[in-house]
Amino acid sequence: MKTLKLSLFAVAGALMLSFSANAQQTTVAKKGKATTAKLEAKPAPAVKAAPAMKAADGTEAPKNMTPSGITWKEDTFTFGDIEKGKPASHDFTFKNTTKQTILITNVKAQCGCTATNYTKTPIKPGESGTVTATYNAANAGTFSKTVTVTTNDSDVNKILTIKGKVIAPEGEAAPAPATHQ
């Protein structure tokens, strides 16, 4: 892993030097007159590509850009109308339909108004797990928020969405509609 990071750092450095060299200018003296001329761009030296990660059998393991093999019951949930000040939660459930053990490695909410919880133990083939999204219904109005789920079986993240409308209690003024000036 350290070698991969160093190789990526070397590639990034070489690209920066290449771009820097293309942008430099120099002053050239021609028959007593100083003029500014752009340096001739030279191709960047070849940089050896970072080595691919090795699979257990020693072959190169490509990045897995296919979606995760787990099956979600749903990926969007609409709460409908919820009361202001009362957080609303929904459990997104999934089943491991792969032949390997799955581990959720990260769950990230779109903003601080949504809290998350998820199955943190490994999910064996045929077993189920959950990702819980809790929306803090602090402000009246409609909302649509996403939760991004990362698993160990794919480099493609799963996006879950919660939607709804927060209703202000009776007697509380509703927010004024937005106006364009």
Residue 39 CA: distances (Å) to CA of 14, 19, 30, 91: 18, 12, 15, 61
Q: What's the pLDDT tens digit per position in 71-120?
A: 999 999 999 999 999 999 999 999 999 999 999 999 999 999 999 999 99
CATH architecture of 70-167: Sandwich (2.60)
Question: 135: which residues sit within 8 A by CB, 6+ positions away?
Answer: 79, 82, 87, 88, 89, 113, 114, 143, 145, 162, 164
Predicted local confidence at residue 52, as pLDDT: 46
Predicted local confidence at residue 66, as pLDDT: 77
Predicted local confidence at residue 27, as pLDDT: 43
Alpha-helix residue ranges (DSSP H) falling in 24-170: none
Residue the block writes with tokens 């032949």 = 99
Predicted local confidence at residue 177, as pLDDT: 52
Predicted local confidence at residue 68, as pLDDT: 78
79 vs 164: CA distance, rounded Å: 5
Radius of gyration of the chain from its Cα atoms, rounded to whole angstroms: 27
DSSP state of 150: E
Predicted local confidence at residue 39, as pLDDT: 44
> How many residues belong to the chain?
181
Q: Where do the structural domains in the chain lie, given as residue ranges?
A: 1-62, 70-167
CA nearest neighbour of 166 among 81, 90, 77, 87: 81
Residue type at 173 in one-letter notation = A
Predicted local confidence at residue 77, as pLDDT: 97
Distance of CA 89 to the CA centre of its chain: 22
Q: Kindly state the tokens that stand for 74.
A: 């749903």
Predicted local confidence at residue 7, as pLDDT: 52
With beta carbons less than 8 A apart as the criterion, state whether 175 and 140 touch: yes
What residue ranges of the chain have pLDDT lower than 70? 1-64, 171-181
72 vs 123: CA distance, rounded Å: 14
